[in-house]
Amino acid sequence: MSLPQIAPGLALLERPLIDVRAPVEFAQGALPGAVNLPLMDDDERQAVGIRYKEAGQAAAIELGTQLVDGALKRRRVAAWQAFAERHPQALIYCFRGGLRSQIAQQWLQEAGITLPRIQGGWKAMRQCLSAEITSAATRPTLVVAGLTGSAKTELIQRLDTGVDLEGHARHKGSAFGRHPLQGPSQIDFEHSLGVALSRMPLGCVVEDESRMIGRLDIPLSFWRTMEAAPRIRVEMPLDWRLEQIRKDYIETLWQTYRGHYGEWLGWALMRKQLSSALKRVRKRLGSARFQRLQRLQALAFREHQRGNTQAHEAWLAPLMLEYYDPMYRYQLEQSPHEALHVGDWESCLAFARDWSASLAR
């Protein structure tokens, strides 16, 4: 019986996926939603790779069948079988849709289950996702700008055409923006972004970002489109922005840390993140200002433990007024862009909705 293949395409991402590559490959970047059930672990893959270089494919296959045999082979087949029984529409893939996915298919077929493999494997699917980003770079894009704390991300999330770049990167973009949980790899970020952009065939709205979000790069073609795109600018008073910053960077951060790490460790990790973030901008703040903000931050942590999260505004306000706001205004002065609309948060949301609706006209 032949082993079925299926042509690559984004529609396949709606189906359950079995990635039979080694864990180290999976960690570097997988297809969205895929489950890693490897044919070989990292050490086995390395040994087979060395044999391939030294003695060719036949010798590598022979070593692989020796390494993955007996009880070990039965365990791996059983894992694929259990997944396939729960997800009859599942697909198998390896790096190029070649030998490893064929072997997995063959062993599964011998166990009485037939699953297709993706033709061209991970590499072909990655090309599809990268092509989506390149295509999106040719479509209309609107950029939402504004001072720190202007709730630009929330505005993006309210739009059917909004693409939350920071959400895909799991990072808020600034020195204080690291997420408590590990972010995606560069490849996983690009794949996630490709899927999101594929759902915006007419155009999208994104937040004003630098090329890097944390340690991740926005793909160059799309970044160039963002650079040239028209903008709107949210303008809100300091007290409103402070409340947003406190909610996002203090209260939500604390809830996430506490939920994942518990009361004691979560508190210690949150304090470490915020104090480390302040240290990262020390040179730009200058020694005297940094020391003042560090003292205010320490006092705020003390008050926070007593239930007063508003105390953080004592260091957040000068950080915004003396560091982030001047930096943004300087960038604004250097920008060649004239904003299509400048106004409060609600008016910018309304403008972005009207702009999005115009795409379909």
Residue type at 52?
Y
* DSSP symbols for 260-278: HH-HHHHHHHHHHHHHHHH
* DSSP symbols for 142-158: EEEEESTTS-HHHHHHT
Burial (CB count <10 Å: 0-12, 13-18, 19+), residue 133: buried
Q: Which residues are known to be catalytic?
A: 94
Q: How far is CA 6 from CA 97, 119, 260, in A?
A: 10, 6, 39
Own/partner long-range contacts of 305-308 (Cβ < 8 Å, ≥24 apart)? 305/267
Q: CB under 8 Å to 138, separation ≥6 — which residues?
A: 225
Spell 327-348 as b/e; 16+ CB within 10 A means b. Answer: ebeeeeeeeeeebebbbebeeb
